Structure 1
Amino acid sequence: MSASSLVQVIQEAQCIVIKVGSNVLVRGTGLDLPFLYTLAEDIHELRQAGKKVVIVTSGSIATAMVKLATPARPKALPLKQAYAAVGQLGLMWEYERAFRVYNIPVAQVLLTKGDLENRKRYLNSHNTFMALFDLGVIPIVNENDTVATDEIRFGDNDSLSAMVAGVVNADVNIILSDIDGLYTANPQLEPGATHIALVSSIDEQVEKMAGNSLSSVGTGGMITKMQAAKICMNAGIHMIIGCGRGNHALRRLMKGKTRGTLFEPSIDAVSAKKRWILQSLTSKGKLVIDDGARQALTRKDASLLPIGVTGVQGRFERGDCVDIVGADGVAVAKGLALYSSDEIVRIKGKKSTEIEQVLGYTNHDDLVHRDNMVLYNA
């Protein structure tokens, strides 16, 4: 696939996650400020085009190494976590200054993989990101290294960026690295190595290429980027590895002036989520609906509203999977509940506008959103 296809993916994306590795963000004497400030300008252009952007950044440990005049990366885990705590403050301050030029507010979001593997915390994270988008804020995500060790041990937030892309329903995850994509071998050791422009599936041969073409700097390398690509592709999200070296690296990639590797999913994001719901999740309870709700779900592709629910069976929490059944007991659909069983007992049969009056708060107008629901007759 040509570079224009990679450019087209970025142009058509409505929500973009951009992962910035420490190998492009930090240079020997500290943060590469020209890179950071031109990155802010490039992201400003994306936002002017109406796109939502999330940044996943590495670099807190490397920033602390410069601040504390440490020549070598610390090895002991508690020391690494301490360095991460020291470096995170300076890292976020420079992001704040870079985006202030364009009057763009930023927010620090510290996550662990455990936050995104727990369904309830996953939904809480999703709601926070959506609220930040509504406020016009750019979320800047880093792994909470003072309590989590995954990034420190396995490196560079590649998998975290892929997981965040799923949380925010991104169209593409762009990883800015010190290499312009996947090669058949390490191009620094084998000048004849061939650049791979498009990957449609990750098989044993592609994984072997990744093992032989590690990026030269950083803790992750190409292997962790393949892990991130698998997560994205299985979720129906495109992923791009592009070179982050130099000023306006993102702009050059967006305009096709530098090449990268595009990882193309074979399934769209909504279909991927529905397949996951159908095949992987065990239902924790049931919602009994009336005939009007059944018709709305099956004929109008609607979400399930509280007014159509007549009964609740089982106990479940927000984010758990539930079966949706008719009054005759026949299964209609399966989906992710946006309220707990206790909450739904109180608001079933009510209008959406009455949720806040009954509960004292409202998370959503619907109980199960159509994008998180699989109809059995479909």
Structure 2
Amino acid sequence: MKKLIYRKLLKDYMNFFLIALFSSSLIIWVFQAVNFLDIMIEDGREYTVYINYSLLNFPKIISRLFPFVLFFSIFYILSRYELNNELMIFWNFGENKIKFTNFILFVSLFMFMIQILFTSIIVPSSQDKARSFLRDSEVNFLGNFVKPKRFNDTIDGVTIYAENKDVNGNLYNLYIKKEMLDEFEITYANKGRFEQNQGIPILILYNGETIRNKDNKITNFKFSKSDFLLRNLKANTITQQKNQEMKTTDVIVCVASIYNLKLKIISKKIDEIINCTENNKINMLKELYKRLIVPFYIPVLMLIPYFLILSSKEKKNYSKLKIITFLTGIITIILSEGVIRFLSIEYFRNLLIFLTPIIFFLFLYLMFLIKLKFKS
């Protein structure tokens, strides 16, 4: 009978948690996808790049919402159980409150492993994959990103300015600057329009002049019609791998190098890690904290709502206990994210910050045991 009760409790937890997590993540993802759409249109990207890039950002949203939704789910289910007198069933069957708490701690270890999997493997991999779509994609919808009365530098090495643009896509009073290794080219034209010639984008210019600087020699020529080829264009976006896109093993190796620690289990050398520079090592520490330390707050956040079982709805202090419990959970979430600002090169300070969730958990669990044994 007790197994059936625990099974029902776990089912209620997980059902509410999964529904809340995916629904809230989906709402945020939709808003984010709208912003990505504006960026893709301005950059002239293909719709396939937009879809892949948007979808690959979904795991990051899930991992960010995971702690709060998990805490809120347990808090809500326990409150509902107490309101419907369902917790009384547990106590009437002689269930020990400490065993009842240990049950959720066992579940918290499983949820902790899931969050570690997300933060250390799934999210960095998906973020790097999303960035690779931007690195490897070309600018295709050229007519979209040229906005009138703006210097459009979406294309790497090319700046285009147009004074006006009509409904047919014709551009008027154009200024184009193309920069190459040790030379540049400036073109003025009265009119221009984008066309495709055998799949190659071309900007056809009418009535203008081109000034070219090559080897410190300036040449110019006028034209009534000229084709400005736009072959193999890359967008002027960040292509270097960001910290959040690095492999977790690379982050660990970089952080270990700060304190001259040698990791025999990881064969990769620090010289092979691009972002592991002297100025970026603090950011590597922060990245390691977000990936491997913040998930340790999961057991803490799952334990905090269980302080509700120390009282019952019939007692006067129950409403106050609910408020204090909820605020404690919110403060813990804020603490887990905010303490990252205090990370530094100092070893003992970082060690204390890294051990904070474990210390906090042991303190809460010990206080919980003392209160239950005192009551019994």
Relative to the length of structure 1, the TM-score reads: 0.21
Greater Rg, structure 1 or structure 2?
Answer: 2
Higher helix fraction (1 or 2) = 2
Relative to the length of structure 2, the TM-score reads: 0.21
